Amino acid sequence: MTERIVTLTMNPALDISTSVPRVVPEHKLRCDSARSDPGGGGVNISRAIRNLGGSSYAIYPLGGATGEDYRRLASAEGLTGQVVPIAGDTRESFTVAEVSTGREYRFVLPGPHLSEAEWSDCLSATVDHLPHGGLVVASGSLPPGVPEDFYGMLARHAADEDVRLVVDASGPPLVHALAEGVFLIKPSRDEFAQLVGGGHDMTTADQVDAATDLIRAGRADMIALTLGAAGALLISVTGVLRLPTPRVAVTSTVGAGDAFLAGLVLRISQGRPPAEAFRTAVAAGSATATMLGTGLCLPADVARLERSLTA
């Protein structure tokens, strides 16, 4: 295997998106045509990396009829990797855009229960494909049955093989990963506040101080903090970078955070400077927000937005 980036998605979802003129309770809502995409954090990251001209190796469990639909869509998109068979049905997620208001409603199911043998197979598949000197991106929630310290287990294996581990998660799974030490985390503003015990009123200075404390404690080398309309921060031992969110017509926020991380990881894997990688990340996230439903960034849009940004 030659890929320098491996992604792991423990709880993939078949993403279905559609729209209605207005969401009204207790009525049949006649939806527009639906779009289906293979989703879940790591797979979305692999899809976005491919859109940006890069390559990765995606590992994810699939089961049931939904899993077969997912496998077909992933193959059609040209994703390479390894499917870990499971007994349960792969989950679905459902996104509805309300045309009259521009609001977006997202319904996300918990996912199938994984047995110890199944989640162990996912861990073994990832360990078997650790790219020496490369990056592993573990992204998304853990389905029922998977222990909360799963990403911590992966962190220990990555450290033994000189692999930089990137974790995009929240709550206890993220805490366990940080306890082992990782290369990069990408929390949202609310996820970061929960992690460090802060509130919704954390200032930029508060966020930078808390992130710097985690880095000094050896929990992470780099922290990318996404702030929605307020932009993003990239904090590391070399300093702090901040970029605004480009002005775009937002259509859907589904996958924007995954595209952000895809741009960041791809450029890092290519040896680009942090400021350049950060620009690509912000541009990719913003470009994805302009896409319908569960579509991901297009390279021409990313390039155009990159030119408008300075770190």
The residues annotated as belonging to the active site are: 258
The contacts of residue 180 (CB under 8 Å, 6+ apart) are 152, 155, 156, 159
Q: What is the C-alpha to C-alpha distance for residues 10 and 161, in angstroms, rounded to an integer?
A: 21
Q: Is 197 exposed, middle or buried (0-12, 13-18, 19+ CB in 10 A)?
A: exposed
Spatial separation of the C-alpha atoms in residues 165 and 182, rounded to whole Å: 5
Q: Answer yes or no: are the C-beta atoms of 70 and 16 closer than 8 Å.
A: no
**CB 238: neighbour CB atoms within 10 A?**
11
Reading the block at residue 116, the tokens are: 């110890």
Kindly state the tokens that stand for 97: 């855009």
